[in-house]
Amino acid sequence: MFVSVKGKVVLILGGSSGIVKALANRFCKEGAAVVATYFSTKTNEVAEMLEDNFRYCDIRHPSELNSVCEYIMKLIAFVGMDGVGKTGILNSIYSILVERGKKVAKIKPESGDTEIAKVLRMIRDAYSQKDKQQQRELNQKIAEALALDLLKTSEKIKEAHSSFDYVLVDRWTMCQEVYDKTWFVWNDFINECLTLCYKPDIVFLISAEMDIVQRRLSSRPVVKKTENIFSLKRVSRLYHNLAKENGWEVIENDKTLDDAVSKVCQKLLEEPSV
């Protein structure tokens, strides 16, 4: 069975032969970022194609192999519904990694604040009391605009993957999937956009008891209409189903922030490059 490499990093060891150029070309066309190593001879054609991503490595020495693995950026996604505290946890992890000397970027993709999404939302609101079908169609257009924005962000991450050890994202493709399915605007176009996006190495689903989430949300200056108990329960259920299907790390944030950050750090410390 063919395994898709879209949005992934492909590491080719022993890239001194001519076949590496063909492999690298194919993987790039499939939407992957390619890193290759060489030992005895540095093939010029491959070097021109991959530039800094063509690296010397003697795989007989674990330290050199670890160096190549550390060169490959890790994308860590923090997901979960509003009010679970994922942004605070992400910021704490960012500070810890920076203190350890890691090159880290943190990204929070647009959540409806792009210009096109704002315009579409204004049009949708104008029809809110007139035409429910048109309102639904406009909701779908907003979701499609956000999916395109995520794909654009993903391409920027892919281009800069050799510049950072870690990129931490607050919300990612799985967040849009949950909300689009909750509000019945999911379609093939959105699915294709999100499939092409960079795949996280680790996904942390931040979770909390519903009464804690409601208390946190009620303390915010603005409470969204969608943050009612029925919507929150439905979103929470979808998140946990996806976590079970895809092997995400579930972090309960019911106590102190430090407690949740400690759990995330414990998992990250299992990774050899941290």
Rg of the chain, C-alpha, whole Å:
21
Per-residue model confidence as pLDDT tens digits over 47-58: 667 766 667 777
Starting at the edge strand found earlier in the chain, the sheet holding 9-12 runs 9-12, 33-38, 54-56
Is the C-alpha dihedral spanning 192, 155, 171, 274 positive or negative? Answer: positive
C-alpha 40/C-alpha 56 separation (Å) is 9
**Which of these ranges, 33-37, 55-59, 66-70, 97-101, has the smallest mean pLDDT?**
66-70
96, 85 in Cβ contact below 8 A? no
C-alpha 42/C-alpha 238 separation (Å) is 49
Q: What is the mean pLDDT of residues 249-258?
A: 90
C-alpha 198/C-alpha 154 separation (Å) is 6
Residues in the chain: 274
Chain CA centroid to CA 58, Å:
32
Q: What is the mean pLDDT of residues 72-89?
A: 88
33, 9 in Cβ contact below 8 A? yes
C-alpha 58/C-alpha 63 separation (Å) is 9
* pLDDT above 50 for 1: no
- Tokens describing residue 66: 């670890």
Query: Which residues are CB-contacts of 222 (< 8 A; sequence separation ≥ 6)?
Result: none
Per-residue model confidence as pLDDT tens digits over 122-162: 776 776 666 777 778 888 888 888 898 888 888 888 776 66
Per-residue model confidence as pLDDT tens digits over 166-201: 889 988 888 889 988 888 889 999 999 998 888 888
Angle in degrees, CA 205, 169, 203, rounded to 5: 30
* DSSP letters for the chain: -PPP-TT-EEEES-TTSTHHHHHHHHHHHTT-EEEEEESS---HHHHHHHGGGEEE--TTSHHHHHHHHHHS-EEEEEE--TTS-HHHHHHHHHHHHHHTT--EEEE---SS-SHHHHHHHHHHHHTTTT-HHHHHHHHHHHHHHHHHHHHHHHHHHHHTTTT-SEEEEES-HHHHHHHHHHTT---HHHHHHHHTSPPPSEEEEEE--HHHHHHHHHTSS---TT-SHHHHHHHHHHHHHHHHHHTPEEEE-SS-HHHHHHHHHHHHTTSTT-
- Tokens describing residue 157: 């991450």
Phi, psi angle pair for 210, to nearest 5°: -60, -40
> Does this model's pTM top 0.85?
no
